Structure 1
């Protein structure tokens, strides 16, 4: 029979191979016999990424042991046996497989402010490289590997926020640090110093990705000014705190020297003293004090140096004006202004009469002769006084004097009077309509004697009783010609009762004198016409009116009751010379009385010198 003992067949298990067989019959070893096929299980194949070893190949009862290469895990039973069934030999179970080993799954790196890149996920042999987001740094290994044992070579690293050394920016002496976000990455810290200190170094620093600040912490240094600027020669400087900020230095010079510049300076936060440096300069006085001395002689002890004294004398025909000796003193000036030798003169130098001229052949010098003229030398101007004078030496005093004073120049009055005339007319019931008409026509007769214009007389008027009739008031400057002015006056209405003269005088002061038409440089004259004793105080308001520089004239008319007295109207004018008491009643408003009022308006010609003063400027 055919042999099947595997040890006798070569090659093994090959049908019809030549075998050397041992048989149970007599033909043993006579010749080679063909090998029959041995009953077997299917061949046991090496698993992918592994190997198998069988106890008796794939023959009956052979046991095959499976194992995987490093990095692979066996999935299934590690041993499989070959057994016989009715259908033949079979493996008792399916051969196991070798699958790639894995390490534990890693946490998503995005949760940790970073990124991870793995070569093969979490499989054995995979390498994972970590990186962090900007502003974070890696704590741990940059790379971890999934080892053959299914374990990671190291713990997963973490990304922590980058910080810089907080001590590198804090506690700046004499200053402060303000950081946007503490000492974390990208935080910008700004340094500043308190007043009196300056920053040495950069003003800002930034925390970088490498955990280092961009620049080192600066220092606050004390502000100083240039020390040599306050070191003063020929004098002394005393400083409250050397040349540091806020120090105040005071200067003083030695005798004979003058401080040029301020006596005190302060070191400012811009490293500069509050003013340029001061210095001590030898005191000298102006040489012109004696060099320019004319018509005389000056002798000085030490030229113009501090302490020198100079004595002055004049030539014949001149007199010394000022001190005859002056000394150069500590502040670099002469003790007195230098004198001068002046030609003998008469004083005052300007002898032009107001509204007139003086024509002199040698000004006001000795023996000068002058002639006076008034106005524009027209018939409208009058001269009051001598029309000539001369500068001559007084034989008794030895001084030169004018032989005559300047005359008064006044424009002929009437018709010319440069005044603002305010009429205050009593229209109480005691006056009566007939006497009222006499009053206004009397006033018209007075005004008819004058030129009314913006350059001459202007007239305002009110009538009063218990009340002030503002409706019929004639405002100053409202009429600027004679006819319209007198027409307005004679048309003033009449009514009312009671007499409150004090109230009327107050109205004149508060309202009429302050009206826009009242000319500021023209005399204000107030003419009060009343027939009764006022029911209110007149002395006080009248005094206040006169204090406002108004020239007040009072005309009192004694009515039928005859109660008005001289003293009553003196309280109004404040001067008996400016008071008229008409005891004959309203019938006494005659042309003679007009002349009296004209004299009050025109007054002393020399008192009218300020009128028409614009002549001087023409």
Structure 2
């Protein structure tokens, strides 16, 4: 009888001694959802820790919170930094991640991840969101959840699902800061030079048609794309030159193209000197005196041609792509005449990537709005590239 009474009193004491309360939820889709719809649970006497498990599967998160035995919880937490894939199990640089955290105070697992044994970890400062705002619960300390928003009409978050980011105990954010970007197209950000060449001037119809359709599809302006260009053969045709500063809007640009580029002339030697055209571009078009903007705006050269270059353009193009002071991106749009084969590998050597080479039939009747879709998809893959920084 005394033994039974002792056991009952011991159990009552242990129950009283275990006063830890932990937040509990199962398979919540976000920290906010867990805290809103979860419940506060009184832990068993042998559960002296509160655990949070944050799984990320692609774009989706799954949050579980519960009471846990302290040793078991700490063992789980120790797996965060174990190797997995190209980094660790708890990560921000892979498609999937699982992070576990333990803490040992009442309600300590409410909110983001808090790992008591690791102390108050600090994540790197997030990049500021141009045209937007960042609101963090605990700055860049472990467990802080930052919310992002855009505050300018016409701008929205990209990637769209990155509305929040949590500072993990590993010192890494769950997501990088998003950007506030406009729809792309029509909003692209480039100082874009287009260089035209055809084996015969009358064969420029498809090129001019494609260029006009592209112009109509984008917004031309100081905070978006601007164009310059020229026609070249053995040398660059000076009278065809269009500088960024030669027009004020998209309509005046169209008139310049009609006046200067629709009646080109080739040199008598019949050469296709693309290197000379690139040198002309760097000396006369991609310069501040021609209206080129600062280094915050990406520079792009597009070569439109239905002939293979006669010179080794690839080496000079590589130098321009790798120029640390003014890196230049390249596209090549090849227009294939019947019976004339373009050297695809040579075009890839100029651009540095097959993704930047696009081929078309040299027939104006087969050029339409669908012709530029693939170019749009490539240029607009990351709308964050098309936002002026620091605003």
TM-score category of the 2 structures, normalised to the smaller one: 0.5 to 0.7
2:373 is aligned with 1:599: no
Quote how far apart the aligned CAs of 1:364 are.
1.7
Which residue does the alignment assign to 1:495? Answer: 265
CA distance in structure 1 between the aligned counterparts of 2:322 and 2:171, rounded to whole angstroms: 40
* TM-score, with length taken from structure 2: 0.61
Runs of 4+ in 1 over 6 A off after TM superposition: none
Quote how far apart the aligned CAs of 1:583 are.
4.8
Quote how far apart the aligned CAs of 1:400 are.
5.2
Any conservation in 2 of the 1:538–1:572 contact (CA below 8 Å)? yes
Any conservation in 1 of the 2:158–2:178 contact (CA below 8 Å)? yes
| Residue 577 of structure 1, aligned match among 344, 352, 355 | 355
| Residue 173 of structure 2, aligned match among 396, 402, 405 | 402
Quote how far apart the aligned CAs of 1:594 are.
1.4
Any conservation in 2 of the 1:389–1:404 contact (CA below 8 Å)? yes
Q: Residue deviations 1:215-234, cap 9 Å, x none? A: xxxxxxxxxxxxxxxxxxxx
Q: Residue deviations 1:122-156, cap 9 Å, x none? A: xxxxxxxxxxxxxxxxxxxxxxxxxxxxxxxxxxx
CA distance in structure 2 between the aligned counterparts of 1:402 and 1:421, rounded to whole angstroms: 35
Q: Which one has more relative contact order, counting CA pairs under 8 Å at least 6 apart?
A: 2
Quote how far apart the aligned CAs of 1:474 are.
0.3
Which residue does the alignment assign to 1:233? Answer: none
Any conservation in 1 of the 2:209–2:364 contact (CA below 8 Å)? no
Quote how far apart the aligned CAs of 1:524 are.
0.6
Which residue does the alignment assign to 1:422? Answer: 193
Any conservation in 1 of the 2:209–2:367 contact (CA below 8 Å)? no
Which residue does the alignment assign to 1:565? Answer: 343
Paired residue secondary structure (1:402)? coil
Structure with higher Rg: it is 1
Which residue does the alignment assign to 2:368? Answer: 590
| Equivalent runs, 1:450-489 vs 2, <5 Å | 450-489=218-257
Q: Gapped runs of 5+ residues in structure 1?
A: 1-315, 318-341, 394-398
Q: Residues 515 and 353 (structure 1 numbering): CA distance in 2 closer, same or farther, change over 3 Å?
A: closer
CA distance in structure 2 between the aligned counterparts of 1:484 and 1:603, rounded to whole angstroms: 29
Q: Residue deviations 1:495-531, cap 9 Å, x none? A: 2252222221222223322242111221111111000
CA distance in structure 2 between the aligned counterparts of 1:594 and 1:400, rounded to whole angstroms: 43
Quote how far apart the aligned CAs of 1:605 are.
2.7
Which residue does the alignment assign to 2:279? Answer: 506
CA distance in structure 1 between the aligned counterparts of 2:220 and 2:229, rounded to whole angstroms: 14
Paired residue secondary structure (1:568)? helix
CA distance in structure 1 between the aligned counterparts of 2:276 and 2:366, rounded to whole angstroms: 27
Q: Residues 599 and 437 (structure 1 numbering): CA distance in 2 closer, same or farther, change over 3 Å?
A: same
Paired residue secondary structure (1:485)? helix
| Residue 413 of structure 1, aligned match among 137, 159, 184 | 184
Q: Alignment RMSD, CA only?
A: 2.7
Paired residue secondary structure (1:471)? helix
Q: Residues 587 and 407 (structure 1 numbering): CA distance in 2 closer, same or farther, change over 3 Å?
A: same
2:166 is aligned with 1:390: yes
Paired residue secondary structure (1:506)? helix
Quote how far apart the aligned CAs of 1:356 are.
3.5
Paired residue secondary structure (1:561)? coil
Q: Residues 466 and 351 (structure 1 numbering): CA distance in 2 closer, same or farther, change over 3 Å?
A: closer
Any conservation in 2 of the 1:505–1:545 contact (CA below 8 Å)? no
Any conservation in 2 of the 1:450–1:457 contact (CA below 8 Å)? yes
Q: How many residues align?
A: 265
| Residue 331 of structure 2, aligned match among 519, 531, 553 | 553
CA distance in structure 2 between the aligned counterparts of 1:351 and 1:535, rounded to whole angstroms: 46
CA distance in structure 1 between the aligned counterparts of 2:185 and 2:177, rounded to whole angstroms: 23
Q: Residue deviations 1:150-187, cap 9 Å, x none? A: xxxxxxxxxxxxxxxxxxxxxxxxxxxxxxxxxxxxxx
Paired residue secondary structure (1:613)? coil
Q: Residue deviations 1:395-449, cap 9 Å, x none? A: xxxx4543333224332211211211101011442xx42x323322320110112
